[in-house]
């Protein structure tokens, strides 16, 4: 059985600021990050859909200790966003100064663009990730 | 299914960067366990070894085969287990199943890691390999940042102001250091106060240095035997009476349960049901306190305290000797240390030593009869629990 939404296709779309996911024909759940089957009912009757890329922040952190190779990026904010379609996804937060990131961020609405991680010697290439901004 | 006992245990000191290789460290722990069991290496029928990052830390793969030969268990089947920080618990669980099934009578299980040897930058990079490489790592996720996300979420979900939660979290770290200070095998042996925790370096908000466990080097090993063999070898067998294990995908996909870890609740229920006990029956527990917030999250899902109330429980001494359940009398990952491939076997080592009354004064629980171990790998990707009961 073929993988419906590969990382390659997801990544290419994200670089156009389009967030792709999978919608289940059996239970209606939306799955992202993509998987072989529906994350809720394990059905393989799933189709690729474009998501709005909007949602609200459920949690966040400011990272001060970087992994090897990402020393120039700190401090940066990671956020978990509950998308309007239901699932959560992980991304970075763009227009907030890490020094002022507090619990007040939780519940704030965000919109999405993207940023490319150039990759390192372990990562099998580069890849885009969602870059969120607080809604104006 | 046959009853299976731990008949001998061994452990190196958990520490910072070691001169010894993984094979050397594991061999030392293994020989201590075998000697304590009154056995010879040739009696071991198979090896089950947790090791996660041997390739990155010293360029060594397949450490289990070299370890088998090193200790003189020549040509026995040797298997490696990799479930990030839960690896050694998986090894002990599988070893248990092979003896319980009747296929083997005597086996060696354990694990080894040289996490400290990698240094902070490489260890932070490689530990992040247990998050999703495509959908999480590009965001710069690290092991502490996973639990930092959970800490802020915990504060929001249960309506506990962050400042109050941080004091509760710090209390768990202080308790870990209190006992680790007395444990001669522990990596970080020092007294730490709440103020020390709250004034330490900010790693990932809201987690500070003393909210985080260290990267450690070390090894631990246990000998498991069938009941019949165990009775011949020792008057103090510790039986494994319940086991559980479960898996999960990336953190985002666990959203319906977070900050609770679903896989833990599934795993520990298997273990409780198999042993026929309830959380209130547990006297001592070694739980996966990779970060202070992880203590609260774990203790609640294990059924010790109500959801959102574990921090208060720690502050009232309910997670201490004399409380509801004595947690991490070894010092836990926080102070005893976290050589990830060995950690679960180190937890079993501690429970067995506690039951035999063989730990240092000041951290000995009064005659514990039932103990529980809890290890978590990755973002909740692998959870494993073991229940141990005193057999005399
Ligand atoms: Zn479905």
pLDDT in tens, B33-79: 999 999 999 999 999 999 999 999 999 999 999 999 999 999 999 99
Helix axes B292-301, B162-180, angle to 10 degrees: 90
What is the distance in angstroms between the Cα of A136 and the nearest Cα belonging to chain B?
23
Query: Beta strand pairing status for A127-134 and A88-93?
Result: parallel
Cα of A39 vs centre of ligand 1, distance in Å, is 7
Helix axes B262-275, B292-301, angle to 10 degrees: 50
Of A96, A35, A85, which is closest to residue A61 (Cα–Cα)? A96
All domains in chain B, ordered by first residue: 4-119+215-239 (3.40.47.10), 140-207+240-390 (3.40.47.10)
The reply to whether A1 falls in a domain is no
Contact (CB, 8 A) for B191 and B171: no
Nearest CB neighbour to A78, from listed B134, B135, B149 = B149
Instruction: Say whether B212 is catalytic.
Output: no
pLDDT in tens, B326-379: 999 999 999 999 999 999 999 999 999 999 999 999 999 999 999 999 999 999
Range of the domain at A41: 7-51
What is the pLDDT confidence band of residue B315, given thresholds at 50, 70 and 90? very high
CA B387 – CA B385 distance, rounded (Å): 7
The reply to whether A107 falls in a domain is yes
Please tell me whether residues A119 and A70 are part of one structural domain.
yes
Please tell me whether residues A47 and A61 are part of one structural domain.
no
Please tell me whether residues A42 and A59 are part of one structural domain.
no
Q: Do B124 and A117 touch (CB under 8 A)?
A: no
What is the pLDDT confidence band of residue B291, given thresholds at 50, 70 and 90? very high
CA B295 – CA B299 distance, rounded (Å): 6
* A136 pLDDT above the threshold of 90: no
Does residue B157 sit in helix, strand or coil? helix
The mean pLDDT of chain B is 98
Please tell me whether residues A36 and A60 are part of one structural domain.
no
What's the start-to-end Cα distance of chain B, in Å?
Answer: 21
Q: Do B204 and A64 touch (CB under 8 A)?
A: yes
CA B83 – CA B263 distance, rounded (Å): 13
Please tell me whether residues A43 and A60 are part of one structural domain.
no
Contact (CB, 8 A) for B252 and B120: no
Of B63, B43, B41, which is closest to residue B52 (Cα–Cα)? B63
Nearest CB neighbour to B138, from listed A62, A63, A117 = A117
Q: Is the pTM of this model over 0.95?
A: yes
Please tell me whether residues A69 and A124 are part of one structural domain.
yes
Shortest CA distance from A131: residue in chain B: B139
């Amino acid at each position: 059985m073929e993988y419906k939404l590969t990382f390659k296709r997801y990544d290419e779309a994200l670089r156009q600021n389009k967030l792709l996911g999978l919608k289940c024909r059996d239970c209606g759940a939306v799955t992202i990050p993509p998987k072989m089957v529906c994350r809720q009912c394990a059905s393989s009757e799933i189709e690729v859909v474009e998501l709005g890329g909007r949602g609200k922040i459920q949690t966040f952190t400011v990272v001060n200790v970087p992994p090897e190779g990402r020393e120039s990026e700190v401090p940066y904010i990671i956020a978990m966003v509950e998308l309007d379609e239901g699932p959560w996804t992980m991304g970075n937060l763009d227009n907030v100064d890490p020094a002022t990131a507090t619990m007040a961020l939780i519940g704030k609405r965000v919109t999405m663009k993207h940023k490319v991680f150039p990759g390192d010697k372990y990562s099998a290439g580069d890849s885009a990730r969602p870059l969120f901004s607080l809604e104006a | 299914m046959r009853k299976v006992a731990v008949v001998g245990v061994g452990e190196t000191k958990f520490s910072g960067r070691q001169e010894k290789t993984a094979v050397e460290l594991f061999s030392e722990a293994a020989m201590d366990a075998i000697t304590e069991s009154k056995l010879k290496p040739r009696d071991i029928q198979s090896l089950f070894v947790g090791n996660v990052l041997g390739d990155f830390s010293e360029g060594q793969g397949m450490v289990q085969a070299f370890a088998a030969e090193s200790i003189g268990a020549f040509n026995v089947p040797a298997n490696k287990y990799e479930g990030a920080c839960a690896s050694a618990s998986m090894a002990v669980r599988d070893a248990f199943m092979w003896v319980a099934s009747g296929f083997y009578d005597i086996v060696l299980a354990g694990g080894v890691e040289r996490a400290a040897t990698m240094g902070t930058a490489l260890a932070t990079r490689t530990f992040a390999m247990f998050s999703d490489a495509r959908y999480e790592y590009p965001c710069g996720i690290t092991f502490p940042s996973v639990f930092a996300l959970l800490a802020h979420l915990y504060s929001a979900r249960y309506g506990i102001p962050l400042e109050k939660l941080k004091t509760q979290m710090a209390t768990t770290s202080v308790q870990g250091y209190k006992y680790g200070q007395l444990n001669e095998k522990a990596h970080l042996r020092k007294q730490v106060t709440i103020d020390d925790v709250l004034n330490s370096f900010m790693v990932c908000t809201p987690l500070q240095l003393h909210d985080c466990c260290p990267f450690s080097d070390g090894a631990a090993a246990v000998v498991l035997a069938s009941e019949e063999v165990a009775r011949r070898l020792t008057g103090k067998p510790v039986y494994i009476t319940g086991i559980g294990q479960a898996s999960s995908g990336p953190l985002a996909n666990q959203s319906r349960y977070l900050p609770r870890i679903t896989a833990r609740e599934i795993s520990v229920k298997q273990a409780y049901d198999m042993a026929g006990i309830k959380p209130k029956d547990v006297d001592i527990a070694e739980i996966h306190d990779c970060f202070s917030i992880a203590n609260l999250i774990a203790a609640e899902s294990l059924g010790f305290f109500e959801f959102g109330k574990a921090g208060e429980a720690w502050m009232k001494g309910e997670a201490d000797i004399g409380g509801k359940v004595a947690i991490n009398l070894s010092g836990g990952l926080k102070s005893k240390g976290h050589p990830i491939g060995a950690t679960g076997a180190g937890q079993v080592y501690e429970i067995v030593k506690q039951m035999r009354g063989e730990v240092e004064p000041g951290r000995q629980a009064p005659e514990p009869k039932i103990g529980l171990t809890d290890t978590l790998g990755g973002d909740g990707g692998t959870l494993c629990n073991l229940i141990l009961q005193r057999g005399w």
